[in-house]
Amino acid sequence: MTSLDGKLGYQPGSLGIAALDEPHRTLLRQFAILPALDDERFQNAFGALCDTIGRDFREEEDMMEAIDFPGLAAHREQHARVLAGLHHSLAALQHGDYGPARRAAVLLPDWFELHISTMDAVLAMALAWHEARTAATPA
């Protein structure tokens, strides 16, 4: 259970910014199905998950660059570390070793909720502030 579970109105993955929330919900749905899949379906689903996470991370980083987000380097570093672990797990999986990918599938949801509630929450505030500032600036 994360620190946000049980908060009034909180939905897992939700920060109130559609550009963040929709990809987060997609990943949470993918996380939910992985543990119960047989090996063949797991391998395909894990590969798809790695692709989705990579795309989501790139999109977030593009948003951060667009607003000159001061936390970009730390956020990008965390993304890179997770992607490196996922790519190592995927490589092992493609060689018949399901252990690392199965462990990643169990650990990812908790990491992801923590990432959303900390780093992505700060990004959401910065995006909202940037949008408000841009809207208030005379044309």
Kind and range of the H or E element at 111? helix 99-115
pLDDT at 31: 93
Asked if residue 122 lies in contact with residue 15, where contact means CB atoms within 8 angstroms, the answer is: no
pTM score of the predicted model: 0.85
Cα(49)–Cα(13) distance, integer angstroms: 16
Asked if residue 102 lies in contact with residue 90, where contact means CB atoms within 8 angstroms, the answer is: no
Cα(44)–Cα(22) distance, integer angstroms: 22
Residue 7 pLDDT grade (very low, low, confident, very high; cuts 50, 70, 90): very low
Higher pLDDT, 36 or 5: 36
Going along the chain from its start, the domains and CATH numbers come out as 18-132 (1.20.120.50)
